[in-house]
Structure 1
Amino acid sequence: MKVNKIRSALYKSAKILVDVNAVQKGTVGKRIAKRAAGKTTGRLLGKLFK
């Protein structure tokens, strides 16, 4: 259970770092579009393979 908490924290921090990097490079719009596409794809696949 401790490993899952560590992994979750690492993934959250990585997501924040990528968002900060997108702000610095000026590609926030592209980042938002990719995250929205990933969420939509994940939901569709989740429904297909339920």
Structure 2
Amino acid sequence: MGDFNSELNEERIIALKKVIDDFREVSQEKPFSPSGTFNNFMHKEPLAKLID
């Protein structure tokens, strides 16, 4: 696919989720890692923002 740098509530992610499944929603075992994926390169800050 690609790297959209978009959050879950943005139109391109909403449209994408209409044709493919989000593993966090369909997996039998829920992820155990942090829910965030981006912190604007502030390495001492937690990963709070979830982007693609």
TM over 0.5: no
Q: Which has the larger radius of gyration?
A: 1
Between structures 1 and 2, the one with greater helix share:
1
Given the two structures, how large is their TM-score scaled by the length of structure 2? 0.29
